[in-house]
Chains A and B, each alone.
Chain A
Amino acid sequence: MRKSLMIASILAMTGFAAVVLAPAKPAFAGDQLTVTSWGGALQKSMRGAYFEPFSKVTGIKVTEDEWNGEIAKIRAMVESKTVSWDVVDGDRRSAIQLCNEGILEKIDWTRLGLDRSKFIGGDKYDCGVPSFISATVVAYDKDKLPNGPKTMADLFDLKKFPGKRGLWKNPYQNLEWALVADGVATKDVYAVLSTPEGVDRAFKKLDTIKKDVVWWEAGAQPPQLLADGQVVMTSAWNGRVYDAIKNSGKHFGIMWDAEMWGADLWVIPRGGPRLDDAYKFIAFASSAQAQADLTHYISYGPTNKDALALVDAPILPDLPTAPEHMANSIETNHAFWAERGDELRQRFTAWLAK
């Protein structure tokens, strides 16, 4: 008894000493790079198209992290000089805002070795390299709604399509769609939304379905909500729906009317310890071949104009950039959201909590 006691206490003491004396495990080991993206099917696709081939070619190990656009994390990292995310698949709205605040690295295109003019939207952002084009669309379950929604107005039509609908817990995109459903032409959406009356009108339209909305926060949720039958239709990122159809055998349909498309951006939080490798990674992931490879996994369109030639024909109609989808679509106006985002988010938060 006594002996075991002694042993126990000695063990405890040495363990304690080990913790105190040994420097806490080094957070940054050897050749590795932390790349942060949006989790779920997108991240899985990136793993196949970017992370693993990149590691094979360069020997640099990619550590993955996930986020849902919490830009506070990036800001806190940069301001406290503890940057642990080397490359981030960036939030397009905040890329502008964070760039203005000097939180993000300015992209040096010569260092990347890429031709800026070859990238769709490449000239719009100083702190980001457009990575892929995705769209937010309305998805529904074909088994339950054989005659699915046809126009944006149907999303807001509780009589024609009773039941819950999923929406992103964000003012972004919901306000635009509310206006479209209320009869505003897709090309005029931002002009109307720039006026106080337009904002009121959008919130008023959202009020009509507020009780029947299930709000989602992560991109992986909408397909799950549909699969579980929690909602009859939901806003979703087109690639996630494509993944559920292709890889989980779901009979989901996509309504492309008033799709909101835009490019994601590779960004580099300023002050990271592995800037060279970060550039190497972005250069790799932005090459025509890598971007074309991504479309093998998920239906997100390339931003590198050279990549389009390498994309397999069968997936073309599933990309947000297919001409028939673009006919009545909204290009997300990031400048508008960078400017008005704060104000509209405040109002949205209050609206939601009531």
Chain B
Amino acid sequence: MAAFPYASPLEKGWYYLHRVMCGMVLLFLIAPILVIIPLSFNSVPFFTYPISGPSLRWYDEFFLTIRWQGALYNSIFVAVSVTLLSTVLGTLAALGLSRPNFPWRTAVMSLLISPIVVPVVITAVAVYFFYANVGLLNTYTGLILAHTTLATPFVVITVTATLMSFDHSLTRAAAGLGAPPITVFFKVILPLILPGMISGALFAFGTSFDEVVVALFIASAGQRTLPKVMFSGIREQISPTITAAATVLILFSIAMLTTVELLRRRSERMRGIRSN
């Protein structure tokens, strides 16, 4: 705001108004997430401030009861499987797509990305009808496959982004120096796209870990996931255990966010993009 000393009062007014407004928008964004954390340490099962006394009883319930524990286990099992599957599939596809002269690139890319745009209810219902015919309803396999379709676009997007400025002469140089394709992949390509792969993998993990609609349709008690338990909790009664679960998930997302951010910076450094 170099022009500020010369600004008219009206301009100054706008300047402060703008700042105040932005502060309120930021509050709007962050407050709901912060409000829920203290409540999870409340010793009584109510959602009102001030909090009557700190207690870890809801965390006990979250980590120790079979219902929550089983759901946590299921969610992690499904999400890890989805992450591995979608990272491999998505990375391969991104590598192919980034090669020059890939035929119908835009069309194929649009198709591969479409699962994030199609309303999730449509995906869920369609998969539900489909699985009912092929016997994949209420199975881990079914849930993992369905989540993988939703997660791969994120891997494709993040890996493609790291490949966007990829210097193809590097691979040619390596090949020219006599490296077999496998070595080229592991020694040249992989280190460069690894940050993108890991961000994509984290996105994939997050997508599956947070997914509720598809799980509601195609999973039963055996595959009860964390979001499923939370969903029925919110619908029926918000027990403070849900706020404890929410707090754990928030910490988890902060960890993921930090990792992705660090990776992005690292990737930019490696590819010599200077961030300003």
Contacts and interface: CB of A to CB of B under 8 A. Distances in A.
Interface stretch (A60-68, A171-179, A284-292): A60-68
Contact of B222 (A27, A77, A79, A224): A27
20 contacts: A2-B187, A6-B186, A12-B87, A15-B84, A24-B140, A27-B139, A27-B222, A34-B221, A65-B220, A76-B132, A77-B138, A79-B132, A80-B132, A80-B135, A82-B132, A84-B220, A84-B221, A84-B222, A218-B232, A218-B235
Interface in A163-200: none
Contact of A9 (B186, B223, B236): B186
B235 A221 contact: yes
Nearest to B87: A12
B20 interface: no
Contacts of A84: 138, 220-222
B72 interface: no
Contacts of A2: 187
B201 to A, nearest CB: 9
Nearest to B223: A27
Contacts of A19: 81, 84-85, 144
Interface residues of A, number: 36
A64 B137 CA distance: 18
Contact of B221 (A1, A65, A82): A65
Nearest 9 CB-CB pairings of A with B: A65-B221, A24-B141, A80-B132, A220-B236, A224-B237, A24-B140, A84-B138, A218-B236, A16-B84
B131 interface: yes
B44 interface: no
B212 interface: no
Interface string B60-104: 000000000000000001001100110110000000000000000
B138 A16 contact: no
B190 interface: yes
Contact of B140 (A25, A217, A218): A25
B246 interface: no
Contacts of B120: none
A242 interface: no
Contacts of A20: 85
A77 B88 contact: no
Contact of A24 (B132, B133, B144): B144
Interface string A20-53: 1000110100000010100110000000000000
Nearest to B220: A84
A64 B81 CA distance: 25
Contacts of B139: 24, 27, 82
